Chain A
Amino acid sequence: MRGEDYPAEGILDMAHDLLQRADPATRGLWPRASALLARQALEAGVRRLWERRELDLRGCPMRAQLICLRTYLEDADLAARTAHAWSALTRACHHHPYELAPTAAELQGWFVVVAALIRSARDG
């Protein structure tokens, strides 16, 4: 396992934690922060899948990797949902004019997809 890698589950747990713990210190910043973490968890999950399949796709843009996911993940629907969650999370991780941070409900929806992807990468 590479040094920059951190178990995808762990990252997603941190994101969850930020979202659910009502902490004055993170008041208002949790939506962006947990989106940042969730995207990293998603990307870590995808990386793990390639490692298990012994494919070296690390140099490829994420968009290309997500397209490959459709082939290598048996669950085509999950592949599609993963691609969507990634682009939504990415949008939340960049400053866009006039857009506010995602809502808790939106984040939770994406977390579900990320968790499913991580499970699939680990077991499948």
Chain B
Amino acid sequence: MDRGLRSIVRSRLEADDSVEEAWSVLVLGALEGREGLEAELAGARAEPRDQAPATSRVPGGVFLGSIAVEGFRGIGPGQLLELRPGPGLTLVVGRNGSGKSSFAEALEVVLTGDSMRWRDRAAVWREGWRNLHQPAASLAATLLVEGEPGPCVVSRRWEPQAPFEAADVLVQRDGRPVAGVETLGWADALRTHRPFLSYNELGSLLDEGPSRLYDALSSILGLEDLVEAQGALQEARRSREKVVKEATEARDRLLERLEGVEDDRARRVAQAIQGKAWDLEAVEAALAGAGSGATAAAAADVLRGIAALEPPDPAAVAGVVAEMRAAARAVESARRTTAARSRDAAALLDLALAYHAAHGDGDCPVCGRKRALDRAWSDRQRTAAGGLREAAREADAVHERAEAARRRWEDLATLRLDALRRAGEVGLDLSGLVEALGVWVQAGSMSDLGALADHLEAASGPLRDAVVRLRDAARAELGRKEDAWRPAAVDVAGWLAGAREAARGAVDVKRLKPAEAWLKKAAAGIRDDRFAPIADKAAAIWEHLRQQSHVELGRIQLTGDGTRRRVVLDVTVDGVEGAALGVMSQGELHSLALSLFVPRATLPESPFRFIVIDDPVQSMDPARVDGLARVLESASADRQLVVFTHDDRLPEAVRRLDVAADIVEVTRRDGSVVELRRALDPVGRYLEDALAVAGTAELPSSAAGRVVPGLCRLALEAACMEVVRRRRLGRGERHADVEGALAEAGPLARLVALALFDDAARDRDALERVEREAGAPLAEALRRCGEGTSGAGAVEVVDLVRRAARLAAWLRGAA
């Protein structure tokens, strides 16, 4: 970045009280370009980087030495347009189609590889770059660079048939070839200080709209870095806003998606991201499967508990039932044995002994025998009971077996009641199981072992079915929840990465916005400061060019940026402010464009000391051409101006106003043979032509006799017109009136009268005065020139030219 620009921005930042450190660092970062800004946003301090000093030094001024063209556009055989290197004005004059513009285009093509004139044209226009009369094509420009010992020659050469883009480019500096046209380091300057301006461009500069004009003018201000910095800020903001927008849109889609997922994790995620601020930690926790939501976790536990239920095993049921039945049978068969009787008797005796122990000696409560129960009875029976119990042990074992078998039913269906109790919460239908269990538990109140076995056998099937149904339902529910969540979890995880970036981006945007707004304002201020001198210069040029125009040009301002950038021209027409460009004539528009172009091309920063203007005169009226001549004169004080023009108006104005200028005439013969010659003023040129014809051995003398008087007449006419124009314009007459008088004058004698007496009607007086004051031979010459005849001999022809020359000089002096 341009060091000067950075320090300007810095000092503006320091001077501004509203600046906050949080974003001012971003402005400075953006001045270092995109990377600088991103580094600053990432919290890493960017080191200011300076561009290589090569571009900041002012390069040596470049002047044009010559332009050589062969086989290009209107020029066939090679021609060399030699120019006087150094400040000054050169006019290249030629009719449309004479090939003069080809020189201007050639220079542009040599230096830039393209031509503005064709750039936006149809292909057919581009393809017409070759001259049809010359197969070889080459262009060369000789440039003189201040501070370099030898000239720099840039050339482009094409093989026959080669397309326009396939030119061999050769650059020679001081006779030594150098790498390429880029090494000259002019690419930027060619763009920003564009030293070429064609008629088309003059028109389009204003036609193509205010933004194009803005670009053309703002490029000279050297504020690209500032624009780039603004661009960097804008891009950084936009890219982040885009991320936020995308993440928000993705959030909306995700919420919709999660709505269909019956899973608590999905609900938790949805809750976390519903609002403006997203709880991304909660989302992460949900993804990890941990965190809050105890109820939901418990519900899943319930389902998992139910899913783990074990139904009664049919084999186990069958085993228990078989054992019960066996035990029942054993009890039945043992009932009729002595063991059973002894067991019963022992039980009876135990009761009687307990009775005696509790109530003491007494009568028998069973048979009623008096005093049957006493101490002796008790001792005797105690012994008998022991015997009996011994005898009953076998029967006891059978009974214990039956009791054990009875208890085993409880083991057959051990269901987790805690899980079952909450089955309703998770939406499972328990009614089947409740019914089956209701039947099953009747077993608890059954005393008959055989009946219990039958009951269990009958009830186990339905119970088993009910448990399996419930368990399967729980398993299905669990599976369904996992199936719904798993892909949703993938989506959530996918969204999370972008959401994290968006969250960071939203923070950045809050800092970027004020930085952007501040820099926009600052850039406009800096731009105005830099543009002011150019605007002043343009206004001064316009003052010269406007002449009798009613259009006044006030302030020129560059305003807005981005798509709203434009140039505001404060135009006043007949004192009415705020007029649009539309009220201006084509000539005025061109003058305005020229007013803007010349300051741009003559800025001291530009390495180019030359400006090439192609046909600025078109659609200008004569008065404006006088102004143009003045503008060119002042610009040529320190610049080399090469102006191509299609008619004689500018050369005439230049001569009349005594503007120092070289004038080169371009003519084009058949076969694209283009000829150049340095022109004198028209009088001198005609006389020189006449002398050349008179002295040319190749021409038959009769031809000379026919041509020379005509050329002499042209010289005298030109001399008279010069005299008349100088006088009348000098006293302030309108150009149009002067030209009208000249056009109406008619034959040579009347023109002489106009020159001598300012009155075309006094042609007789004029002839007399010539005869009297200039002498009879010159009067005779005047007569002959007027008639267009001469004597036959070669000597007479040469003599006529000499006399015409003297007469022209006399006319110029006499008036």
Chain A contacts to B: CB under 8 angstroms? 4, 6, 10-11, 14, 18-23, 25-33, 36-37, 40, 93-105, 108
Known: A6-B702, A14-B699. A37 touches B667 (CB 8 A): no
**Is the pair B647, A36 in contact by a Cβ cutoff of 8 Å?**
no
**Is the pair B698, A27 in contact by a Cβ cutoff of 8 Å?**
no
Q: Inside 8 A of B677's CB, which chain A residues have their CB? A: 27-28
Q: Inside 8 A of B703's CB, which chain A residues have their CB? A: 11, 14, 18, 37
Q: How far is the CB of A21 from chain B (nearest CB, A)?
A: 8
The answer for the CA separation of A101 and B238 in the assembled complex, in Å, is: 62
**Is the pair B692, A26 in contact by a Cβ cutoff of 8 Å?**
yes
**Is the pair A103, B668 in contact by a Cβ cutoff of 8 Å?**
yes
The answer for the CA separation of A36 and B648 in the assembled complex, in Å, is: 20
Q: How far is the CB of B343 from chain A (nearest CB, A)?
A: 152
Q: Inside 8 A of B718's CB, which chain A residues have their CB? A: 95
Q: Inside 8 A of A26's CB, which chain B residues have their CB? A: 692-693, 696, 699
* 22 pairs of residues in contact across A and B, judged by CB atoms under 8 Å: A10-B702, A18-B699, A20-B669, A26-B692, A26-B693, A28-B665, A30-B669, A32-B714, A33-B711, A36-B707, A37-B706, A95-B682, A97-B648, A97-B739, A97-B742, A100-B95, A100-B648, A100-B665, A101-B667, A103-B667, A104-B667, A104-B670
**Is the pair B714, A93 in contact by a Cβ cutoff of 8 Å?**
yes
B218 at the interface (CB under 8 A from A): no
**Is the pair A22, B673 in contact by a Cβ cutoff of 8 Å?**
yes
Known: A26-B696, A28-B677. A105 touches B649 (CB 8 A): no
**Is the pair A36, B668 in contact by a Cβ cutoff of 8 Å?**
no
The answer for the CA separation of A102 and B739 in the assembled complex, in Å, is: 20
The answer for the CA separation of A93 and B718 in the assembled complex, in Å, is: 12
Taking a contact as CB atoms closer than 8 A, the residue among B646, B649, B689, B698 that contacts A33 in the complex is B689
B233 at the interface (CB under 8 A from A): no
Query: 0/1 per residue, B642-673, Cβ < 8 Å to A?
Result: 00001111001000000000000101111001
**Is the pair B706, A40 in contact by a Cβ cutoff of 8 Å?**
yes
The answer for the CA separation of A105 and B667 in the assembled complex, in Å, is: 11
Q: Inside 8 A of B717's CB, which chain A residues have their CB? A: 94-95
Taking a contact as CB atoms closer than 8 A, the residue among A4, A99, A103 that contacts B648 in the complex is A99
The answer for the CA separation of A62 and B673 in the assembled complex, in Å, is: 35
Least CB separation from B647: chain A residue: A98
**Is the pair A25, B696 in contact by a Cβ cutoff of 8 Å?**
yes
Q: Inside 8 A of A33's CB, which chain B residues have their CB? A: 689, 693, 707, 710-711
Those of B624-655 within 8 Å (CB) of chain A? 646-649, 652
The answer for the CA separation of A11 and B704 in the assembled complex, in Å, is: 11
Taking a contact as CB atoms closer than 8 A, the residue among A22, A30, A100 that contacts B93 in the complex is A100
**Is the pair A101, B95 in contact by a Cβ cutoff of 8 Å?**
yes
Taking a contact as CB atoms closer than 8 A, the residue among A10, A11, A32, A108 that contacts B711 in the complex is A32
B807 at the interface (CB under 8 A from A): no
Taking a contact as CB atoms closer than 8 A, the residue among A20, A22, A99 that contacts B647 in the complex is A99
Q: Inside 8 A of A19's CB, which chain B residues have their CB? A: 669-670
B24 at the interface (CB under 8 A from A): no
Known: A95-B714, A97-B742, A98-B647. A103 touches B689 (CB 8 A): no
Query: 0/1 per residue, B702-728, Cβ < 8 Å to A?
Result: 110011001101110110010001000
Taking a contact as CB atoms closer than 8 A, the residue among A11, A31, A108 that contacts B667 in the complex is A31
**Is the pair A98, B670 in contact by a Cβ cutoff of 8 Å?**
no
**Is the pair A29, B692 in contact by a Cβ cutoff of 8 Å?**
yes
Q: Inside 8 A of B692's CB, which chain A residues have their CB? A: 25-26, 29
Apart from A22-B669, A32-B710, A36-B788: 15 A-B pairs, beta carbons within 8 A: A22-B673, A23-B696, A25-B698, A26-B693, A27-B667, A30-B669, A36-B711, A37-B706, A40-B706, A99-B647, A99-B648, A100-B95, A100-B648, A103-B95, A104-B667
Q: How far is the CB of A29 from chain B (nearest CB, A)?
A: 4
**Is the pair B710, A11 in contact by a Cβ cutoff of 8 Å?**
no
**Is the pair B710, A103 in contact by a Cβ cutoff of 8 Å?**
no
The answer for the CA separation of A14 and B692 in the assembled complex, in Å, is: 16
Q: How far is the CB of B297 from chain A (nearest CB, A)?
A: 98
B40 at the interface (CB under 8 A from A): no
Q: How far is the CB of A11 from chain B (nearest CB, A)?
A: 7
Q: Inside 8 A of B93's CB, which chain A residues have their CB? A: 100
Q: Inside 8 A of B61's CB, which chain A residues have their CB? A: none
Known: A23-B698, A27-B677, A28-B677. A36 touches B667 (CB 8 A): no
B789 at the interface (CB under 8 A from A): yes
Those of B367-404 within 8 Å (CB) of chain A? none
The answer for the CA separation of A57 and B725 in the assembled complex, in Å, is: 38
**Is the pair A98, B693 in contact by a Cβ cutoff of 8 Å?**
no
Q: Inside 8 A of B699's CB, which chain A residues have their CB? A: 14, 18, 26
Q: Inside 8 A of B646's CB, which chain A residues have their CB? A: 100
Least CB separation from B678: chain A residue: A28
Q: Inside 8 A of A25's CB, which chain B residues have their CB? A: 692, 696, 698
